[in-house]
Amino acid sequence: MKKRTFSLGMLGLALTAFLAMSITRTTAQTTDAPRIDTDDIGGVVTGARGPEAGVWVIAETTDLPTKMARIVVTDDRGRFVIPDLPKGNYNVWVRGYGLVDSARVASAPGKIVNLTAMSAPTPRAAADYYPANYWYALVQPPDKSEFPGTGAKGNGISEAMRSQAMWINAIKTSTCTPCHQMGNKATRELPQTLGKFGSSVEAWDHRLQAGIDGGAGMYANTNRFGRDRVLKMFANWTDRIAGGELPPQAPPRPQGAERNFVVTVWDWASDREYFHDAVASDKRNPTVNANGLVFGLHENSSDHMTILDPMKNTFSQVTVPVLDEKLLPQPAKIGVASPYWGEEIYWNSRVIGHSNVMDQKGRVWNTTRTRGPAAQPAFCKEGSSHPSAKHFPLNNSGRQYTVYDQTTKQWTIVDTCFGTFHLNFAHDADNTIWSGNGGVVGWVNTKVLDETHDQQKAQGWAPLILDTNGNGKQDAWVEPDDPIDPAKDKRIDVSFYGIAVSPVDGSVWGDLNEFPGAAVRVVPGSNPPYTTLAEIYELPYGQVQGQYVYTPRGIDVDANGVFWTVLASGQYASFDRRKCKAPLNGPKATGKQCPEGWAFYPMPGPNFKGANVEAGAADANYYNWVDKYDSLGAGKNTPIATGNLSDALLVLQNGKWVVARVPYPMGFFAKQVDGRIDDPRGGWKGRGLWTTSANRTPWHIEGGKGTLPKVYKFQMRPDPLAK
């Protein structure tokens, strides 16, 4: 056999060929990387089987005045672009279904960072990243056959629980989930810090008494179910999870438009405070306050209003004022020691703020306590010459208005006779603000208030009167408990939970969220309160369109005058009055006259455990909002709901769900949504939604005790790589 020899020239050719192949291979690995600008971080995520599509890439920095993270989703080739990052050092990592968190890689804007996804070693490790509703769906309510309850001497279910639907409503919308997320790690497990107990039932009995919200709140509510029975249900749930039971299905990875979201998260406030609402613009004109401050209102936890400057990445706080400086904080008493705070009284609020909106001048209107209920102005009461007091006097109100002018940094207190709760402005020349509580709807004509500073003249209120005699006007009425009188109208005693004003005809809408619930429409008329009439439309409880439907919570009215609400039964529901066939006044128009006006859209995600459960989904939806002006980029008049157990905003785009999940930190829990358009010509970068995580237990958020509440901005790009 002839021996081969290599000359120096041949060796050089071989090295040249090898280097060429190496360069080609390196180029092949990097040419798929996305193009980025100097303020972006981009790259490709690959796993054991190649590119990872539909996973989240998170970039977080502590170099700014407050901690900030920005989150995007990879495209179908595993590529990502995290756009428009402030200068700083960032940790970048991957999170996704089927994975565990990848190693955090240090990077900075202007760099390409290719990341390696880490497959979950076990199904349990993978499930730790599922949103809470997948775990809460493992709860098994009592079977339908056990209702109605027969009390302590029977099946242990309260006699007030007449159906399984009422039970599910209570473990979702009306008792547990309005305050905190159920199904997250903090609630689906019984931590050692809770103490040692003889059984999980005893542990739950103790847990529901813990902290300020314990004895007088959570524990007292167990009587609504039958205490022993509801404790057994929750104990069975956590026992099965501790024994290894997992959600039977994994959440789907983001698809389609779900990959276009950019979510920015800032820390604000303190670890003892929680928010109810945040506001960024005027809901009637989202170009108000462009690029401006965002205002968050706290509820029981403090008297602060927290303010984010998203341009400077800073937050500050101001104190909400009161009329009566002797007003005491809401009484706070520890039930049993909190595993997080011990015996510390960590909430201390006098104003008990609830909701806020912004007006056309950029002023922030808050519903807060400014005085005691008994310190009602004389003009509100019987004997006053005020038109509303002559018609329907009011002896007390729980919350009033405080107004913050961000230009002057001054507060104004508007002392209302009617109680305030949720609030919204009308689309009228008077910029009328509406709220509803205590069986009335109340308004303040802010044009009159600004011109005269006369609070008595600027406000009014009206009882809710049904036109049951059918003559088209308000007459003498019978009271709520009285039978229909064919010669009179009828008053209904409804306190609105949510409130919204139709941009089409100025009618004011609210909801009754007592089971099974109803929508209420109020027409002020030409001379309120004397001309004000109401209509009520009950939810057609039971199986409708193949679904169980009951109990609204949040509400809004879209650009066509259609009423929207989220239901405890697990649907987004609309009510279109234009579809009604029966007369809308008269003796039969007391709630059941228009079932054909309702339509229902089942929420995404799993349902509770059990056969033929009287619900559509285990997710809880506190509030909803209609994006009339395309603040997000999903289209005008797009309904959006809060997914309080799914860590998400749920966008109903063209009748299909688009889930905007916040994967980090787990525990996102929104109670209101606000849209703002900073630049109408700026494409997706000029638009966004704003909200806050409104959980009474921010220490349940991923990170545990010491974690600060968060404020969020959601943006929707045309594609996952848009810069």
- Among residues 102, 127, 152, the one where a domain terminates is 127
Q: 525-558, pLDDT tens digit by residue?
A: 999 999 999 999 999 998 888 899 999 999 999 9
pLDDT of residue 345 exceeding 50, the answer is yes
| Percent of the chain whose predicted confidence (pLDDT) is above 70 | 96
pLDDT of residue 13 exceeding 50, the answer is no
Tell me whether residue 300 is in a domain: no
Task: For the sheet with 563-567, list strands across it.
Answer: 552-557, 563-567, 571-575, 598-602
Across the range 398-406, mean pLDDT stands at 97
Greater confidence (698 vs 6) lies with: 698
Q: 442-457, pLDDT tens digit by residue?
A: 999 999 999 999 999 9
Q: Range of 170's domain? A: 132-242
Q: 628-648, pLDDT tens digit by residue?
A: 999 999 999 999 999 999 999
Please indicate, yes or no, whether residues 380 and 432 belong to a single structural domain of this protein. yes
pLDDT at 511: 97
CB atoms within 10 A of CB 659: 21
At 706, the pLDDT band (50, 70, 90 cuts) reads very high
What's the number of CA atoms in the CB half-sphere (13 Å) around residue 104?
A: 9
Tell me whether residue 671 is in a domain: no
Q: List CB contacts of 47: < 8 A, sequence separation 6 or more.
A: 99, 116, 117, 118, 119
Please indicate, yes or no, whether residues 446 and 507 belong to a single structural domain of this protein. yes
529 preceded by a cis bond (ω within 30 of 0):
yes
pLDDT at 5: 39
Please indicate, yes or no, whether residues 507 and 561 belong to a single structural domain of this protein. yes
Q: Using alpha carbons, list the distances in angstroms from residue 705 to 214, 265, 272, 543, 575.
A: 18, 18, 9, 43, 42
Tell me whether residue 709 is in a domain: no
Please indicate, yes or no, whether residues 515 and 462 belong to a single structural domain of this protein. yes
Tokens for 698, please give them: 């921010």
**Strand ranges for 170-298 from DSSP E:** 261-267, 275-279, 294-298
Tokens for 240, please give them: 């099965």
Q: Is there a contact between 350 and 331 (Cβ–Cβ < 8 Å)?
A: no
Alpha-carbon 109 to chain mean position: 32
Alpha helices in 185-334 (DSSP H): 185-188, 200-207, 220-221, 227-242
- Of 723, 707, 720, 693, nearest to 306 (Cα)? 693
pLDDT at 217: 83
Q: Using alpha carbons, list the distances in angstroms from residue 473 to 65, 240, 476, 504, 584.
A: 59, 59, 10, 21, 13
What is the average pLDDT value for the chain, to the nearest integer?
A: 94
On the 0-12 / 13-18 / 19+ scale of CB atoms within 10 A, 85 is buried
Q: Is there a contact between 86 and 67 (Cβ–Cβ < 8 Å)?
A: no
> Residue type at 521?
R
Q: 129-143, pLDDT tens digit by residue?
A: 999 999 999 999 999
Q: List CB contacts of 166: < 8 A, sequence separation 6 or more.
A: 147, 160, 515
Q: How far apart are CA 324 and CA 542, in angstroms?
A: 48
- Of 715, 649, 712, nearest to 310 (Cα)? 712
Q: List CB contacts of 682: < 8 A, sequence separation 6 or more.
A: none
pLDDT at 420: 97
pLDDT at 572: 98
- Residue 32 sits at the vertex; the CA angle it makes with 30 and 34, to the nearest 5 degrees, is 100
Return the SS3 of 227.
Answer: helix
What's the number of CA atoms in the CB half-sphere (13 Å) around residue 47?
A: 22
Tell me whether residue 703 is in a domain: no
Query: CB under 8 Å, gap of 24 or more: what pairs does 616-619 form?
Result: 616/547, 616/548, 616/569, 616/570, 616/571, 617/133, 617/570, 617/571, 618/133, 618/136, 618/137, 618/139, 618/172, 618/183, 618/570, 618/645, 619/133, 619/570, 619/643, 619/644, 619/645, 619/646
pLDDT at 31: 54
The interaxial angle of helices 227-242 and 200-207, nearest 10 deg, is: 120
Please indicate, yes or no, whether residues 120 and 136 belong to a single structural domain of this protein. no
Q: 244-265, pLDDT tens digit by residue?
A: 999 999 999 999 999 999 999 9
pLDDT at 9: 40
Q: How far apart are CA 15 and CA 13, in angstroms?
A: 5
Tokens for 265, please give them: 């998260």
pLDDT at 640: 98
Tell me whether residue 160 is in a domain: yes
Please indicate, yes or no, whether residues 445 and 508 belong to a single structural domain of this protein. yes
Please indicate, yes or no, whether residues 136 and 121 belong to a single structural domain of this protein. no
pLDDT of residue 43 exceeding 90, the answer is yes
Across the range 503-531, mean pLDDT stands at 97
Return the SS3 of 69.
Answer: strand
Tell me whether residue 541 is in a domain: yes
Greater confidence (10 vs 261) lies with: 261
Tell me whether residue 424 is in a domain: yes
Q: Is there a contact between 657 and 604 (Cβ–Cβ < 8 Å)?
A: yes
- Of 181, 183, 207, 189, nearest to 244 (Cα)? 189
CB atoms within 10 A of CB 316: 12
Strand 477-478, strand 489-492: pairing: parallel
- For the whole prediction, is pTM greater than 0.75? yes
- Of 93, 92, 91, 97, nearest to 54 (Cα)? 97
Q: List CB contacts of 634: < 8 A, sequence separation 6 or more.
A: 257, 627, 651, 653, 658, 716
> Residue type at 181?
Q
Please indicate, yes or no, whether residues 47 and 182 belong to a single structural domain of this protein. no
Give the 3-state secondary structure percentages of the chain, helix then strand then coil, rounded to 5: 15, 30, 55
Tell me whether residue 689 is in a domain: no
Across the range 710-717, mean pLDDT stands at 98
> Residue type at 100?
V
DSSP per residue, 144-162 = GGG-S---TTTTSS-TT--
Please indicate, yes or no, whether residues 140 and 35 belong to a single structural domain of this protein. no
Beta bridge partners of 492: 464
Please indicate, yes or no, whether residues 511 and 378 belong to a single structural domain of this protein. yes
Q: 637-677, pLDDT tens digit by residue?
A: 999 999 999 999 999 999 999 999 999 999 999 999 999 99
pLDDT of residue 14 exceeding 60, the answer is no
Q: Is there a contact between 569 and 548 (Cβ–Cβ < 8 Å)?
A: yes
pLDDT at 436: 87
Question: Tokens 């800073």 — which residue?
Answer: 314
| Percent of the chain whose predicted confidence (pLDDT) is above 90 | 91
Q: How far apart are CA 715 and CA 684, in angstroms?
A: 7
- Among residues 199, 224, 242, the one where a domain terminates is 242
Q: How far apart are CA 26 and CA 7, in angstroms?
A: 29
Q: How far apart are CA 681 and CA 420, in angstroms?
A: 37
Across the range 450-465, mean pLDDT stands at 98
pLDDT of residue 216 exceeding 80, the answer is no
CATH of the domain at 65: 2.60.40.1120
* Total domains in the fold of the chain: 3
Please indicate, yes or no, whether residues 55 and 185 belong to a single structural domain of this protein. no
Please indicate, yes or no, whether residues 383 and 466 belong to a single structural domain of this protein. yes
- Among residues 179, 209, 242, the one where a domain terminates is 242
pLDDT of residue 2 exceeding 60, the answer is no
pLDDT at 19: 32
